[in-house]
Amino acid sequence: MLYEFDNKKPKIGKDTYVSPTAILIGDVTIGDQCYIGHGAILRGDYGRIEMGTASAIEEGAVVHAPPDDVCRVGNRVTIGHGAIIHSRSIGDSAVIGMGAILSMWAEIGEGSIVAEGSVVKMKQVVPSKVMVGGSPAKIIRAIMEKDMIRWGKGKQLYVDLAKKYLESDMKLIA
């Protein structure tokens, strides 16, 4: 569901799937070939959300910009099921694991992975191409080639899924 708020309406890119059970409010811009999953909530009410191309926000995730600021989600970003995003930025090709929390004004570097259930603290900066985990999140190791291959496949999976949903004749049956 798309909601206008404070004279601002969500903008959705070409070939992007937004589930009918997702909620997008106000100043939200989604790029091309993205996937916004069932039950996801993107609140651009007192801040702005900008999402690049070929990114996925999986089911049950919540994205909310910091007050009077912007939450930028880069290109080919994966935000896992049930994640809570209140950060300033997530760099291109980053992965945010299921149930992870990115607190206000946190910044995630390009190509980094935040492990499932981790908590990135307020204003914490995660450098590029590292894996972090824990509460609070700490660097576990550098990103390896196998990580990029694995997550590259996962990212393409959601680009393809968005296309399939858009082309399908999915029908409500109950």
Question: To 5 degrees, how large is the angle CA 37–CA 38–CA 44?
Answer: 70
State the chain's mean pLDDT as an integer. 96
Q: Domain ranges in the chain?
A: 2-167
CB contact at 8 A, 62 and 44: no
- φ, ψ for residue 131, nearest 5 deg: -105, 130
CATH no., domain 2-167: 2.160.10.10
pLDDT tens by residue, 40-87: 999 999 999 999 999 999 999 999 998 899 999 999 999 999 999 999
Predicted TM-score (pTM) of this structure? 0.95
Is residue 25's pLDDT more than 90? yes
